[in-house]
């Protein structure tokens, strides 16, 4: 019955309604629509996953399962251990005064940069698979950043022994409570840091009480599912759609070529945009949530906040801070604050952070696909004006 004046639920003067049902309907429509697109690609291209590879069309750059045991790839992955051992020996020599500090720092610089440059040369000259190249480039870059953090943090521990921030760290092991420099310079300590899901070195990390076997099994299964789904999307949707786009553009002739190419390009960009979004989200979930949590469980690493709610970001500043916390912490600790300490302004320090990030991303992509033209991340430096650390 009509008892009082009241606005409709979708009007601006209504009480805040619950839109959960509409959200569920939207999710159902989204799933059905994208499943229809997937069926369309299977009808048009067939079940292409049976081809046994996924890559760009050129067979020279195709990934095959035998590439996993490629000799240069395996050799270089094993060789990364040498740089870890050298970093330990250099820091051990400095801590026990076998090496003068200036000499130790120089050796750290040489060892750290070789850990990045040697794998890069091997990828460029001896590795044909872009997948292997990307994995090796990523591994060497992560190690490079970790070795910088290891040398930088231990220099701080050495110069400022009273600044023991480890006293404020919670959930530590009993044997780690009284740990100080140089007692942290051990092979076990540096190898734990190498495999830990973090880029910034500390003597002590928050630790889990115990490993959860059920959680480890769950994460392994999720990681396998993410990998299979990623391979399927690349092989079934992304690669054939991209190939078909190139074929249609090459077949265009005549005066209407420009207009038709724009229409075709727009159509395929929409198709590729959906596939790219799924692939990006899948890579993010598989790496930042599943893989890093799996490493945390195996190593009993306590701080498992590898990202925050970047999906609620309202500007670029929030997005860059929240979506990749390990890299953000590294940039703040080892680049931004050192720039501030030497007298740079905040704007100049932010420019250095974005320029460094652009160069590293460009290097990761360009070397892996054997293309040195700087085209992928130049837009990052244009975000300096609108982004704050």
Can you list the residues of the chain whose pLDDT is less than 70?
A: 1-2, 7, 10, 12-17, 45, 48-69, 163-167, 171, 173-177, 252-261, 368-389
Between CA 368 and CA 227 the distance in angstroms is: 20
Residue 232 has what DSSP assignment?
H
pLDDT score of 372? 52
Name the strand (E) or helix (H) holding 303.
none
The predicted model scores a pTM of: 0.82
Q: What confidence score (pLDDT) does residue 57 get?
A: 44
Measured in degrees and rounded to the nearest 5, phi and psi for residue 18 equal -95, 115
Q: What is the pLDDT of residue 60?
A: 45
CA angle 274, 279, 280 (to 5 degrees): 100
Return the active site residues.
361
Of the CA atoms within 13 Å of residue 274, those in its CB half-sphere come to: 16
In this predicted structure, what is the pLDDT of residue 389?
A: 45
Query: Cα(237)–Cα(272) distance, rounded to whole angstroms?
Result: 8
Buried b (16+ CB within 10 A) or exposed e, 259-288: eeeeebeeebeebbebbeebbeebeeebeb
Q: List all residues 6 or more positions away from 273 whose beta carbon is below 8 Å from its beta carbon.
A: none
Cα angle for residues 157, 163, 165 (degrees, 5° grid)? 95
**Where would I find the beta strands (DSSP E) of 146-205?**
none
Of the CA atoms within 13 Å of residue 203, those in its CB half-sphere come to: 23
Q: Which two tokens stand for residue 326?
A: 């390990």
Rg of the chain taking only CA atoms, in angstroms: 25
Residue 191: predicted pLDDT: 96
């Amino acid at each position: 019955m009509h008892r009082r004046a009241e606005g409709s639920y979708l009007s601006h003067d209504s009480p805040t309604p619950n839109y959960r049902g509409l959200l569920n309907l939207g999710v159902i429509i989204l799933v059905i629509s994208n499943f229809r697109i997937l069926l369309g690609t299977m009808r048009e291209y067939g079940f292409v996953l049976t081809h046994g590879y996924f890559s760009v069309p050129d067979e020279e750059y195709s990934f095959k399962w035998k590439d996993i045991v490629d000799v240069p790839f395996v050799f270089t992955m094993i060789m990364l251990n040498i740089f870890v051992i050298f970093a330990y020996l250099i820091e051990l020599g400095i801590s026990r005064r076998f090496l003068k500090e200036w000499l130790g720092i120089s050796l750290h610089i040489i060892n750290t940069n070789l850990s990045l440059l040697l794998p890069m040369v091997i990828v460029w000259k001896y590795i044909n698979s872009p997948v292997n190249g990307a994995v090796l480039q990523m591994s060497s870059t992560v190690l490079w950043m970790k070795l910088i953090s290891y040398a930088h943090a231990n220099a701080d521990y050495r110069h400022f022994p009273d600044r023991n921030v480890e006293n404020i760290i919670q959930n530590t092991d009993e044997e780690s409570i009284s740990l100080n420099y140089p007692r942290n310079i051990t092979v076990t300590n540096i190898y734990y840091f190498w495999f830990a899901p973090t880029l910034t070195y500390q003597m002590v990390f928050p630790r889990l009480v115990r490993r959860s076997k059920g959680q480890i099994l769950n994460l392994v299964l999720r990681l396998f599912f993410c990998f299979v789904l990623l391979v399927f999307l690349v092989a079934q949707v992304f690669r054939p759609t991209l190939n078909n786009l190139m074929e249609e553009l090459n077949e265009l002739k005549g005066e209407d070529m420009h207009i038709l190419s724009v229409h075709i390009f727009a159509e395929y960009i929409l198709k590729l945009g959906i596939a790219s979004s799924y692939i990006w989200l899948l890579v993010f979930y598989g790496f930042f949530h599943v893989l890093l949590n799996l490493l945390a469980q195996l190593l009993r690493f306590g701080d498992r906040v590898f990202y925050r709610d970047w999906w609620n970001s309202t500007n670029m500043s929030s997005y860059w801070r929240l979506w990749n916390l390990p890299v953000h912490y590294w940039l703040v600790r080892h680049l931004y604050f050192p720039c501030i300490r030497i007298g740079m302004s905040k704007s100049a320090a932010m420019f250095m952070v974005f320029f460094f990030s652009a160069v590293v991303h460009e290097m990761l992509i360009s070397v892996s696909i054997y293309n040195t033209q700087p085209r992928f991340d130049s837009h990052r430096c244009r975000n300096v004006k609108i982004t704050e650390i």
